[in-house]
Amino acid sequence: MKIIAARVIVCSPGRNFVTLKIETDQGLTGIGDATLNGRELAVASYLTDHVIPCLIGRDAHQIEDIWQYLYKGAYWRRGPVTMTAIAAVDTALWDLKAKAANMPLYQLLGGRSRSRVMVYAHANGKDIGHTVDEVLRQRELGYTAIRAQSGVPGLDKVYGVAHHDGKGNKLYEPADAALPSEHDWSSEKYLHHTPKLFEAVRNAVGPDVHLLHDVHHRLTPIEAARLGKALEPFSLFWIEDATPAENQEAFKLIRQHTTTPLAVGEIFNSIWDCKDLIQNQLIDYIRATVVHSGGITHLRRIADFAAMYQVRTGCHGATDNSPVCMGAALHFDTWVPNFGIQEHMPHSALTDEVFPHDYRFDQGFMHCGEMPGHGVEIDETLAAKHPYKPAYLPVNRLQHDGTLWNW
């Protein structure tokens, strides 16, 4: 099955998505997500200018060799732009191989390991009362695992507290901001507030709902340790990205002080980013996902390594990963033996129309479909009606003196 053409489709049905489509001489096509939020065009250029010319004429079945060629052959290894581009090729090739085999992707990976995929919802509000209401609303929708975030008194805007654009889109940042917006941050105010949030949420939902929280890299290691300890009475499923992880050893300090489970990895792009965290058992869940961690081929390698240390998966599933990533992730989740949980933020109706798919949500769980491949396609005519719009993630500064902080 020879690759005869490949192209990049950039569209913005509410937010920007980059998609790679590969065509073969057998008439089959495969697609992969290549979306890197805020740096979309860098990946589009990497693919169009540097990767696609090397793909033409290759055997689409040689997924591993093509992965190694793009990883080792580039000389410049790793990094989010490179690994997102490799992920897009890899996902499209797995889609093609599964279509050629006339099988859903999870069958090629090794078959079904579970009947359905547990997902967690987002609940956020401007204060504790609103967040509690939102948690209860998500539980009504059937979710058994819910991430809770709330506004912090004294801070204007807080990460994870969405606004609505009136068109059915829940936005965590202005989707069409010409330049990054700036938020204020105070770790002191946040640390004072967050235990009260979880006391209220746990009292409202009782013991049976899994509760999660995303710190979004805001704390220092010792502050993160303090938070983990303060949240222990409320039995969280995890706290995520408690501190930045470039220095993987930083998690030792957190681990020494708390039994609250730790999740990390949505911004990781290779197994090397999580090697020390996993082999020293400093985390419980690895958040790497298909689009930003080198595709199915590399994510599977990370998951197998993690399994040796009883670390389970918890794939990133925010709406800036396109439905193509979601579809591929759900096949991965259906197979992976050490599955933990999958994040689920529903895409807007328009995004779902641009990316028709056969995965579905039912009572707090997701099901991948049985169509050959990963089950997601792109409607290119509709996509063309929604062209790219420059957009940035916000930046964050300390409230008391304007020092640039972590976002």
Running DSSP on this structure, what letter comes out for residue 376? B
**Residue 172 binds which entry of Mg ion, ligand CS2, none, with Cβ cut-offs from 5 to 8 Å by kind?**
ligand CS2
Report the C-alpha gap between 332 and 401 in whole angstroms. 45
Residues 78-117: x where in contact with ligand CS2 by CB under 6 A, - otherwise, as a string: ----------------------------------------
Closer to ligand CS2 by CB, 170 or 229: give it.
170
Residue 149 C-beta: closest distance to Mg ion, Å: 10
User: How many residues are present in the chain?
Assistant: 407
166: exposed, middle or buried (Cβ count in 10 Å: 0-12, 13-18, 19+):
exposed
Residue 32 C-beta: closest distance to ligand CS2, Å: 18
Asked whether position 214 contacts Mg ion by CB under 5 A, the answer is yes
Give 63-125 as a DSSP string. Answer: HHHHHHHHHHTTSS---HHHHHHHHHHHHHHHHHHHHHHTSBHHHHHT--S-SSEEEEEEEEE
**In this chain, which residue has its C-beta nearest to Mg ion?**
214
Residue 241 C-beta: closest distance to ligand CS2, Å: 7
Catalytic option among 122, 213, 216, 217 = 216
Residue 403 C-beta: closest distance to Mg ion, Å: 22
Q: How many CA atoms lie within 13 A of 110 on its CB side?
A: 11
189: exposed, middle or buried (Cβ count in 10 Å: 0-12, 13-18, 19+):
middle
Report the C-alpha gap between 131 and 123 in whole angstroms. 6
Report the C-alpha gap between 234 and 314 in whole angstroms. 20
What values do phi and psi take at 284, rounded to 5? -115, -25
Residues 257-276: x where in contact with Mg ion by CB under 5 A, - otherwise, as a string: ---------x----------
Closer to ligand CS2 by CB, 248 or 289: give it.
289
Closer to Mg ion by CB, 159 or 365: give it.
159
Q: Is 235 left (phi over 0), alpha (psi -120 to 50) or beta?
A: left
**Residue 343 binds which entry of ligand CS2, Mg ion, none, with Cβ cut-offs from 5 to 8 Å by kind?**
ligand CS2
Asked whether position 172 contacts ligand CS2 by CB under 6 A, the answer is yes
Asked whether position 37 contacts ligand CS2 by CB under 6 A, the answer is yes
Please confirm, yes or no, whether 216 is among the known catalytic residues.
Answer: yes
Closer to ligand CS2 by CB, 382 or 393: give it.
393
Residues 284-323: x where in contact with ligand CS2 by CB under 6 A, - otherwise, as a string: --------------------------------x-x-x---
Residues 250-289: x where in contact with ligand CS2 by CB under 6 A, - otherwise, as a string: ----------------x-----------------------
**Residue 42 binds which entry of ligand CS2, Mg ion, none, with Cβ cut-offs from 5 to 8 Å by kind?**
none
- Please name the residues in contact with 27: beta carbons below 8 A apart, sequence gap of 6 or more: none
* Single-letter amino acid, residue 379: D
State the pairing for strand pair 238-240/262-264.
parallel
Catalytic option among 71, 106, 159, 359 = 159
- Can you give the binding site for Mg ion, defined by CB under 5 A? 214, 266
Task: Please identify every residue annotated as catalytic.
Answer: 159, 216
